[in-house]
Amino acid sequence: MAKNNTFSLRFRRRRLGLTDYKKRLALLKSGLDRVVVRKSNNYFTISHVKYNSAGDKVVKSVTSKVLADFGVKKGFSNMASGYLIGFYFAKHLSPKGEVVLDLGLRKPARKIMSVVRGLHEGGLKTNVNEEKLPNMELINSRYDVSDFVKKISAGKVSKPKAVKKVVKK
């Protein structure tokens, strides 16, 4: 019989393939707030997250469902809507100062990078090089985003439904 432990278990979220702790530690060491970008099959989600030793705190979050309020009829997960939701987040919900982009376990694919292009053009500084972002011709291939950018800049919708503010209980 074995008398001591020679095998140690990894963290549960690492074993399940949900968290890359090496990457997370590098993001947290920067000391900056994070902008977390996630993509599902139907929507993009962007969140402003602050680190807390008790657990991360989501300050503001928005999904691409908000674009329906600005006149986008369908296609909430393509490159054009990714650009628009990034632009909306940067204009109306973004934190002040520089932030670090957190993509989780995803690789920086074109659709995700279109969100980052919207964040940059909305005025938010991130740690991503602008040369890696998709060009506007590729983003405009689905539909022309210039009309929607004008509506978002003007703030035609005062309080969109999909914006969530996390209230501390």
Instruction: Express each pLDDT in 101-121 by its tens digit.
Output: 988 888 888 899 999 999 999
DSSP string for residues in 63-125: EGGGGGGGT--S-TTSHHHHHHHHHHIIIIIPPSSBEEEE-TT----HHHHHHHHHHHHTT-B
**Cβ proximity of 20 and 105 under 8 Å:** yes
Total Cβ atoms within 10 A of residue 103: 20
Total Cβ atoms within 10 A of residue 7: 5
Amino acid at 124: L
Instruction: Express each pLDDT in 1-18 by its tens digit.
Output: 567 777 777 888 878 877
Take residue 6 and report the two structure tokens written for it: 């020679």
Q: For the chain, which residues make up each domain, given as ranges? A: 19-155
Instruction: Express each pLDDT in 35-82 by its tens digit.
Output: 999 999 999 999 999 998 898 899 999 999 998 888 888 889 999 999
Q: What is the pLDDT of residue 2?
A: 60
Instruction: Express each pLDDT in 137-168 by its tens digit.
Output: 888 887 788 888 888 888 765 444 555 555 55
pTM: 0.80
**Cβ proximity of 58 and 47 under 8 Å:** yes
Architecture category of domain 19-155 in CATH = 2-Layer Sandwich (3.30)
The C-alpha atoms of residue 134 and residue 2 are separated, in whole angstroms, by 56
